[in-house]
Amino acid sequence: MKSFEFIKKILLQIQQKDKLVEIKPLKEKKGNFLILRYIDKRGLEQDILTKELKYLVETKKMPENFYAYLVWIAGEIVNNIFDHGQTLGRTLRGGILGLVIRKNNLELVIGDLGIGIKSSLEKNTALQAKNLNSKKAIQLALKENISGWPHKRGNGLPDALRVIQAGQGKFWIYSDQMLLKINNGRKKWEQIKQNLAGVLIGVELKIKDFQVPRKNQPKGLAIKLSKFGLQLSGREKGQEAYEILVKELTSLPKQGVLMIDLTGVIMMNSSFGDQALGVLLENIQQGHFGAKKVFFIGEIKQAVDLCLDRIAEIRKVEIAKI
């Protein structure tokens, strides 16, 4: 990842000379950076990406969905700089962002000169007893619910990595002389001679071949609510649906899952929804069906979604949509 090495050299130069290197936003050239900027405040990366990549999105050279995930990934990394890096007041206030596009290939690199992953995690007293080294610290940083904060947080970087891997991308992370490269699930560790203060992260993605990450859908019995009609209204029809849903739920094993597919349903009013689903969910919450669960799947129209929200409000139940 050439851009990764390029920005690493800039960071090391700043670190050694204790002063900023003058960088200028580079114009679009073949094989060159589209973006090279200092990020001295939270959220600036979104403004930069929006401005610089607007033309590519508008001309369909970059799918809007890809762009949205790119901004998400960049945002998570930059947030970590300001939440955990403690770079404010140092020579490099914040971080540095570089992005290069070569045909269908995009590289995003973001780095800082903060306290590094190991020192950040050690701020959490629950992790101090783990005797962290650089490798263990990076491994923990990529796990869910692990953070330098003393309360349950730490999903930003793992979520970003999940998106990158779903998109068949590459992910590099460097801190405290340790570099981890992840490519198609394969991990490679490298010991680096230069001790870079802070963290450097590189992401490589294929723009047009990018795959949207899919939710983990539990296995269970699926039933289409559209079998009762595409426009669902009235308590009588709701009671009819309720009785069939109860029959299906009762037939499941002790920890079974009933998945109610809302695809195709155009409208559902509160009378039908409360009688068919509200009563069912309330009975489940009260333990009448043991450990069995109900999930709502499929394409949910706005009118149907509003009804579900209303049911949750009236019955004080949780509605799980996947």
Lowest mean pLDDT among 80-89, 108-117, 150-159, 301-310: 150-159
Q: What is the pLDDT of residue 27?
A: 60
pLDDT-based confidence at 228, cuts 50/70/90? very high
pLDDT at 312 over 50: yes
pLDDT at 214 over 70: no
- Please list the residue range(s) of the chain that carry CATH number 3.30.565.10: 2-206
The predicted model gives 202-210 an average pLDDT of 88
Q: What is the pLDDT of residue 128?
A: 62
The predicted model gives 273-280 an average pLDDT of 94
In tens, the pLDDT along 34-70 reads 889 999 888 899 899 988 898 888 988 888 888 988 9
Q: What is the pLDDT of residue 309?
A: 92
- Assign residue 8 a region (left: φ > 0; alpha: ψ between -120 and 50; beta: otherwise): alpha
CATH of domain 2-206: 3.30.565.10
pLDDT-based confidence at 212, cuts 50/70/90? low
3-state helix/strand/coil string of the chain: CHHHHHHHHHHHHHHHHCCCCCCCCCCCCCCCEEEEEEECCCCHHHHHHHHHHHHHHHCCCCCHHHHHHHHHHHHHHHHHHHHHHCCCCCCCCCEEEEEEEECCEEEEEEEECCCHHHHHHCCCCCCHHHCCCHHHHHHHHCCCCCCCCCCCCCCHHHHHHHHHHHCCCEEEEEECCEEEEEECCEEEEEECCCCCCCCEEEEEEECCCCCCCCCCCCCCEEEEHHHHCCEECCHHHHHHHHHHHHHHHHHCCCCCEEEEECCCCCEECHHHHHHHHHHHHHHHHCCCCCCCEEEEECCCCHHHHHHHHHHHHHHCCCCCEC
- Please list the residue range(s) of the chain that carry CATH number 3.30.750: 221-315
pTM above 0.75, yes or no: no
Check: CATH 3.30.750 for 221-315? yes
pLDDT-based confidence at 153, cuts 50/70/90? very low
The DSSP bridge pattern shows strands 178-183 and 170-175 to be antiparallel
